[in-house]
Structure 1
Amino acid sequence: MTLIIAVLLFLASSIFFGFLIQEKKRAVLPEVPTLPPGPRPWPIIGCVPEMWRNRPSYRWIHDLLKQLNTDIACVRLGNVHVIAVKSPEIAREFLKKHDAVFASRPITMATYILSTGYLTTGVVPWGPQWKKMRKVLIADVFNQSRVRWLLDKRNDEADNLVKFLYSQCSKSKNGSVVNVRNAAQHYSASVMRRMIFNTRYFGKGREDGGPGFEEERHISALLTILLHVYAFCVSDYLPWLRAFDIGGHEKKVRDALKIIKQYQEPIIDERVQKWRSFGHGKRMKEPVEEDLLDVFISLKGENGQPLLSAEEIKAQITELQLATVDNPFSAAEWALSEMLNQPEMLTKAQEELNRVVGIDMLVQESHIPNLPYIRACARESLRLHPVAPFNLPHVSTTDATVAGYFIPKGSSVLLSRLGLGRNPQVWANPLRFDPERHLNGSANQKVELEEHELRFISFSTGRRGCMGGTLGTTITVMLLARLLQGFTWSLPPNVDKIDLTEAQSLFKLNHLYAHAKPRLPAVVYPV
C-alpha cells in the first residue's frame, strides 16, 4: 500500500513539475500560432465524410464560416488543410504580402486530365512549365498589339450577336421574346473560337448566326469541365479511393474532354501539319498567321525549333476557352435580369449609349472607356453574382503565418467570391444590385472590372492573376453594351418580375427570356 502511494505521489509530482516547466517555456518562447478555427477532423480521413454528406461542399464551408463567426477557417480533408477566407484584409495578406508563398496550384484528378499532365498555365503547379507557358501568353497572346490584331474577328462576332437577335425579334412590329442566355453564351464562346480557329462553327452553321448542334455540344462540354475542375472530389483528398470514381467525377471530366477534342483536334492537327511540312521539300505556299492557333504553332525556341509541342498547344487552347466561356455570358445575363427588375437602370444605360455612340452606328470597343455606367453594371454583376463560389485555389509552398494563424505547407487556400462580394462589412446593402456604388460622379471616371483590393474577385490578382483581364473586360462589356444598345428590353407577357434564383453552379437557375424589340434604324443592323 505504501508503495502504491509513493508511486502515485511520484506521478503527481512529475505532472506538476512538468506543467511548471511547460509554463516556464511558454513564458520564454514566443507563442506558436495555431491553425485557423474549424471542425475537429477524423484521423487520416479528416472531414471528408462531413464534406460528402453536406453537398454542395462550398455551401457547407460557407455555413462553417458563419457558424464559427470567423473570416478564415481551416477544414482538413485527408491530409490537406483547406483554408477558406472571406475577408478582403486577409485575402490581401495571402495574395499580396505572401504572394510568392501561395503561387502554386493543387494537383487534382481533373486538372491533370484537362491539362494533359500539366502542360498549360492556369491550373499548373509552380515550376518551369508554368513559367514557360505564362511567358508565351504574356508576350505572344495577350499583348496589346496582338489584341488589336484580333479586333476584326471580335467585331465580326459582336455583329453576329446583333444579327442573331435581330433575326428573332424583327419579324413582328412589336418584337418578340428571346432566349438571352442562348445568344450571350454563344457570343462568349464564338469570340474565342474566332480568335483561335478563325471560325464561328465546327459544323455547317446556321443562316441566322445562331449556334449549331456542334457548338452547343462543345459549350456544354466546356461548362461541364468548369463545374468539376476544382469541385471537392473525394479522391483528390483520399487518393486510394480514385479507382472507385465516387460520384462519377472522373468519368464526367473525361467524357466532356473527349467531346472537346472531337471538334478541336482535327483542326489543330491539320494546321500543325501544314506549318511543320513547309520547307521540307513540299511545294506549298508559306503559311501566314491568321489566328492564335497559327501564333502558337509558329513560335520558335532558341534553337529555331518549334517552341510548343502539339500537345501543349491543344491543352493550352482548351484552357483558354475554359477561362472565357462562362464569365462574360453569366455577367451579362445577370446584369440584364437585374436591370429588367429595375427598368430605370435600362433607361440610364441606353441614354449613356445614345450620348456616347448615337443611334446610327453600333457600339465599338473604342467606345468602352467612355461608358462608365455600363461598365459599372458589369462590375456590379461580377460582384453580386460570381461565376463560382471560390477563386482558383492557391497552394502554399512553405509554412507561413497569415492573419496570426499557422498555414502549413501544402495547404489549399480558397478565397470566397461569395463571402467577399457579399460581405456586409465592405458593401452597404450587399444583396442589392446597385451599379451606382462603383461610380463617384466624376465625368472622366474609369470603372475597372478588375478589383485589385480583393473586395470581390473578378480576375484575381498577384502572380496567378488572370493574364487576360483586359481582354475579358472587353468581351464582357461589349456583350452587355451590344445587348443594351441594339434592343429595347422588357418583361415577357404575364411576367411581373424576373426570377433571380441561383442554381447550385451560381449561374442563373432559369434561362433569361425577355421581350426584345429593335431600337435602332433598320440600316444599322447587320444582315
Structure 2
Amino acid sequence: MEAISFTIWSLCSTFLFLALIFFLFFREKINANLLPPGPKPWPFIGCLPQMLRNKPTFRWIHKLMEEMNVEIMCIRLGNVHVISVTSPEIAREFLRRQDAVFASRPVCLPADIASGGYLSAALSPMGDQWKKMRKVLTSEVLSTSRHHWLHDKRVEEADHLIRFVYNQCMNSATGGLVNVRVAAQHFCGNVIRKMIFNKRFFGKGMEDGGPGVEEEEHVNALFTILSYLYSFCVSDYIPCIRGILDLDGHEKIMRKATTSVKKYQDPLIDDRIKQWNDGTKTEKEDILDILITLKQTDGTPLLSREEVKAQIVELMIATVDNPSNGVEWALAEMLNQPETLKRAMAELDRVVGKERLVQESDISQLNYVKSCVKEAFRLHPIAPFNVPHVSISDTTVGNFFIPKGSHVLLSRPGLGRNPRIWNESLKFKPERHLKDDGSKVLITDPDLRMLSFSTGRRGCAGVTLGSTMTSMLMARLLQGFTWNLPPTVSHIGLKESPGDLLLAKPLLALAKPRLAENLYSISL
C-alpha cells in the first residue's frame, strides 16, 4: 500500500513539475512574441556572446536598431531584458506616463563601487535611501536658494577661466593655441570643487592658472568612472560571478578610478567633519558644510560620514562631463561655420557689450548662444544612453510587453538625431531652437526629442546648475576671445572617438583676446 502511495505521489509530483516547466516555457514563448523586436537570444546567456564580440556595446546596439529599422528594441543579456529607445513618443511613455513603474536603478557592480554601496541619490535603486538622498539634493544642495547662495563661487571660477585662457594667448599678436577640452573640463572641475570644498585646486595648480597634477588625476578619474559606470559589464547580467570573476576588467578599472577620486576628497571631508565636531568651524561656506550640518529631529547628523563621501563623488561625476563636452563640440562646429560663430559673438556684444564680462544674469537674453549649446547637446551628447531605468513590475509600453526588471535605456544620439523628428538631423543648426516669438530658449526639451538632462522622478536634480555652467562656459569663451582655426588646419574634424562620443581629438583652436586688457587682470 505504501509503495502504491509513493508511486502515485511520485507520478503527481512529476506531472506537476512537467506542467510547471511547460507553463513557464510557453509563457516565456508567448511573452517573447510580445517583447519589442531584437536579436534572438541564446538560452540562459542571452546575447552576451554577441555583446562581447561587438565593442563598444552602444555602437552595436545602435547599429542593430538601424539595421532592423526600429525605434524600440529588446536585447536579452543573461536574464535581463535591455530595452533601447530612440522614439520620443515611446520615451515619454516610459518617463512621463509610466514614470512610477520605471523609477528604479539597476543593481550593478560599477554603480555599487561609485556610490559606496548605493548610499547616494542618482545611482541607488528605488527605496528609502534613494528618497532620503534625493530629498537632501533637491531641498538642501540644488535648490533655487542654494543656487543663488553659491553664485559668487561660480562667477569666481568663470573669471579664473578667462584669465587662464588669456595666459595662453597674451604674448602673441596672432593669438595662442588653446586646448579647449582642457579649459572646459577643468573649468567644470574647478566650479564643483569650489562649490563643495571652497577651493579650486587640491594642490597648487600651475602658474598660468591651469590644473596641476592633482587636478588632472582627479578629473581623469572622474571621466573614467563615467565611462565604466553603466558600460555593459558581464557580471551585471550574470550576478553569480559578481565579485568573483572580472571577465572584462571593469571592476578593477572602477576601483582604481574611485580610489583616485577619494584620495583627494576624503581627507578634506574627514578634516571638515572634525572641524565641525570640535567647534573650530562654525560658519557654513560650501556644500560640504551643508551636508555635514544637516540634522535629524533628535539633533543627530542626518548623514553619515560615508553618505557624505558617496554623495560628493556623485556630485562630482554629475557635473564635469555634460557642460565641457557640449561646449567643446559647439565651438568645433562653429569654427567650421564662421557665420554661426559671428552671430553668437554679435549677440554677446549687443546684450553685454565689451566693457564688462558676461554674467549669469545675462544668460536669459542670450538665446542664440544657448541655441548653440542646445544644438551641441542634441547632435553630440556626452553619453550614448541616459542612466538606466528599471521596471518594478510587468507593464505594456507602445503595445510591447516590458517585463519586470527590464533595463530601459533612452538613446541620447538616437533621440537627438532621429531623422523622423529633426530636419537635417546630422547638421549643426542652432537656429532650429529659436522661437518665432523671441521667447527664452531652454537647454532642456520637455518633449524628449533630445535628452540634455533626464526628466521624471529620476530626472537630473541639477538642471539649473548644469544649464548655468554650460551657458557661462560658452558665453565667457565667446565674449572673451576671437576664435580661429589653427594655422595649419583648414577644417575641424568632427569624428567621434571609437569608444565614446567625445570628439576624437581634443579641440585645439587659436584664441586672441578681444576685450580691454583690464578685464583679464583677475587675480588667480
Q: TM-score scaled to structure 2, two decimals?
A: 0.92
Mean alpha-carbon deviation: is it higher for 116-125 or for 33-42?
A: 33-42
Contact 1:331 1:378 in 2 (8 A): yes
- Given that 2:295 and 2:302 are in contact with CA atoms closer than 8 Å, whether structure 1 keeps it comes out as yes
Q: Is 1:463 aligned to 2:464, yes or no? A: no
Instruction: After superposing the two structures, state which structure 1 stretch, 61-70 or 251-260, moved more.
Output: 61-70
Q: Indicate if the aligned counterparts of 2:105 and 2:388 stay in contact, CA closer than 8 A.
A: yes
Amino acid at match of 1:274: Q
Bigger Rg over Cα: 1
Map 1:96-495; keep pairs closer than 5 Å: 96-242=96-242, 243-278=244-279, 284=280, 286-443=281-438, 445-495=439-489
Aligned partners of 1:173 and 1:47: how far apart in 2?
58
**CA deviation after TM superposition for structure 1 residue 244, in Å:** 2.3
- Residues 31 and 140 (structure 1), Cα distance of their counterparts in 2 relative to 1, 3 Å cut: closer
1:269 is matched by which residue type in structure 2?
D
Letter in 2 for 1:248: G
Cα drift, residue 247 of structure 1:
2.1
Give the Cα–Cα distance (whole angstroms) in 2 for the partners of residues 505 and 325 of structure 1. Answer: 16
Task: Give the match's secondary structure for 2:377.
Answer: helix
CA distance in 2, matches of 1:347, 1:60: 38
Q: Quote the Cα distance in structure 1 between the aligned partners of 2:323 and 2:376.
A: 10
Output the CA distance in 1 between the equivalents of 2:144 and 2:102. 28
1:484 maps to amino acid: L
SS in 1 for 2:96: helix
**What do the CA deviations read for 1:350-394 (whole angstroms, capped 9, x no partner)?**
110011001010000000000000000000000000101111100
Distance in 1 (CA, whole Å) between partners of 2:311 and 2:154 is 20
Cα distance in 2 for partners of 1:270, 1:515 equals 42
How many equivalent residue pairs? 491
For the Cα contact (< 8 Å) 1:162–1:526, is it kept in 2? Answer: no
Q: Secondary structure at the residue paired with 1:40?
A: coil
Return the offset for 1:524.
1.4
CA pair 298-174 structure 1, distance change in 2 beyond 3 A: same
SS at match of 2:171: coil
Partner AA of 1:235 in structure 2:
S
Following TM superposition, by how much is the alpha carbon of 1:71 offset from its aligned partner in structure 2, in angstroms?
1.0
CA distance in 2, matches of 1:149, 1:440: 31
Letter in 2 for 1:396: S
Please list the CA deviations of residues 201-251 of structure 1 after superposition, one character each: whole Å capped at 9, or x if unmatched: 001222321101000000000000000000011111112333221121100
The superposition leaves residues 420-461 of structure 1 with CA deviations (integer Å, 9 ceiling, x where unpaired) of 000000000001000000012433x21111111110101111
What amino acid is the match of 2:377?
L
Note if contact 1:166-1:518 (Cα within 8 Å) is conserved in structure 2: yes
Partner of 1:16: none
State the alpha-carbon separation in 1 of the partners of residues 183 and 69 from structure 2.
42
Change (3 A) 1:241 1:31: closer
Q: Could you list the per-position Cα deviations for residues 255-309 of structure 1 after superposition, in whole angstroms to 9, with x for gaps in the alignment? A: 001111110011000001111223xxxxx4x511000000000100111110000
Could you say which residue in structure 2 is the equivalent of 1:81?
81
User: Residue type matched to 1:410 in 2?
Assistant: G
> Counterparts of 2:132 and 2:488 in 1: how far apart (Å)?
56
CA contact (8 A) 2:435 2:441 kept: no
Give the Cα–Cα distance (whole angstroms) in 2 for the partners of residues 31 and 225 of structure 1.
36
Question: Residue 6 of structure 1 aligns with which residue?
Answer: none
Q: Equivalents in 2 of 1:204, 1:440: separation in Å? A: 46
Matched residue type, 1:273 = K
The equivalent residue for 1:18 is none
Letter in 2 for 1:386: P
Asked if the contact 1:390–1:416 (Cα under 8 Å) also holds between the matched residues in 2, the reply is yes
CA distance in structure 2 between the partners assigned to 1:487 and 1:136 by the alignment: 39
Q: Given that residues 72 and 86 in structure 1 are in contact (C-alpha distance below 8 angstroms), is that contact kept between their aligned partners in structure 2? A: yes
Letter of the structure 1 residue corresponding to residue 481 of structure 2? F
The code of the aligned residue for 2:276 comes to W
Contact 2:31 2:401 in 1 (8 A): no
- Equivalent residue, structure 1, for 2:42: 42
Q: Give 1:291's aligned amino acid.
A: D
CA distance in 2, matches of 1:110, 1:234: 11
CA distance in 1, matches of 2:154, 2:434: 28
C-alpha distance after superposition, 1:114-143 (max 9, x if no partner)? 111100011110000000001111111111
* CA deviation profile, 1:461-515 (whole Å, cap 9, x unmatched): 1100001101100000000000000000000002100011101210111010001
CA distance in 2, matches of 1:156, 1:118: 33
**Unaligned segments of structure 1, at least 5 residues:** 1-29, 279-283
Letter in 1 for 2:415: L
Question: Aligned AA for 1:480?
Answer: M
> Is the Cα contact below 8 Å between 2:102 and 2:392 reproduced in 1?
yes
2:510 matches 1:515: yes
How far 1:40 moved relative to its partner? 1.1
Q: How many angstroms apart in 2 are the aligned matches of 1:37 and 1:57?
A: 18
Provide the rounded CA distance (Å) in 2 between the counterparts of 1:129 and 1:366.
36
TM-superposed deviation, 1:339: 0.2
- When normalised by structure 1's length, the TM-score is 0.92
Q: What amino acid does structure 2 have at the position aligned with 1:407?
A: I
Give, as a single letter, the amino acid of the residue that structure 2 aligns with 1:476. T
> What is the rounded CA distance, in whole Å, between the counterparts of 1:33 and 1:173 in structure 2?
68
Q: Which amino acid aligns with 1:347?
A: K
Return the alpha-carbon distance in structure 1 between the equivalents of residues 32 and 163 of structure 2.
Answer: 64
